[in-house]
Amino acid sequence: MVSVMRALREERLFLSLTGMRISEFKRLVETFEKVLLSALAQRNRQRAIGAGRKGALKDVESKAFYILFYLKVYPTYDLAGFIFGVDRSRCFHWTKRLMPLLEKALGRHVVLPKRQICSVEEFMALCPDVKDLFLDGTERPTQRPQKSKLYKKRYSGKKRCHTRKNSLIANEKREILFLSPTKEGRVHDLTQIKKTEILQHFPPDKSLWVDKAFQSIQKCLKPSNTVMIPHKKPRKKPLSAQQKKENRIISGIRIVVEHAINGVKRFATTSHIYRNRRGQDDQFILLCAGLWNFHLKNFH
């Protein structure tokens, strides 16, 4: 059985097991406990909260540690059951029950990215003092589908493998402000962000920094919006020295969105081959983005 108290004694060990510092964990646990008690109080109970036989996860710290450990390490349920000294089915139920509680806890800290924006005013409230926003797409590999329909949908020509993908918008502080729904790997980055309809509500007089995957995105924005996009090399014709210099400058500035993606992919659930079912990958990347924003908001 894994010892949470032992992990809490060493910063480096705890960071490698959960993706969080000890001080971050203690602050999150305070909110996680309130959410857990609220969920327990809503059940039809015959005994008081805490009565009865004690489970393998005896306290709030153990429950929070388990779900963070799962997101960070992404073990199979067999391996998780071996580490925590329970049957693999118990780990499945823990994961299913604790992920929504973690999402509510992060929601109380107001660190979860928006999934849908329906007006310019809502967008402005999200980033009132920001002039530059950074858009990019991210993919993660998934198991090769057995069904022929999914086989074609999930194949990404960009990654040469089967993937699931998201588009996200970050600010200069590397905070993830918006996260699109998870789609199949075959969907183009520009098509995916168009379907969210967020570009229709993009605030005026703000600049959007993108990479070369978002060619012709200017047509989806207002004339007052500036799009900073690298020059694309024409066929059979090299870029000029000036164009190469501008590309380097743009890449150097928009590196913040790459850092934001890297912060999310510290967790193995968003970087290793996805092997779960029923669209859990969308919840995985939402929670990991929220944990990254929580880290930036409270400890930077």
Task: Note the pLDDT tens digit of each residue in 65-124.
Answer: 999 999 999 999 999 999 999 999 999 999 999 999 999 999 999 999 999 999 999 999
Q: Is the model more confident about 60 or about 53?
A: 60
**Is-contact 218 199, C-beta < 8 A?**
no
Q: Which domains does the chain have, with CATH numbers?
A: 4-44+52-108 (no CATH), 120-299 (3.30.420)
pLDDT tens digits for range 56-79 = 898 899 999 999 999 999 999 999
Name the DSSP class of 109. T
Prediction pTM value? 0.92
Alpha carbon distance 205, 182 (integer Å): 29
* 288-100-278 Cα angle (round to 5): 80
pLDDT digits (tens, 9 = 90+) for 189-226: 999 999 999 999 999 888 999 999 898 898 899 888 89
In percent, the amount of the chain with pLDDT more than 90 equals 70
Name the average pLDDT for the chain: 91
Length of the chain: 300
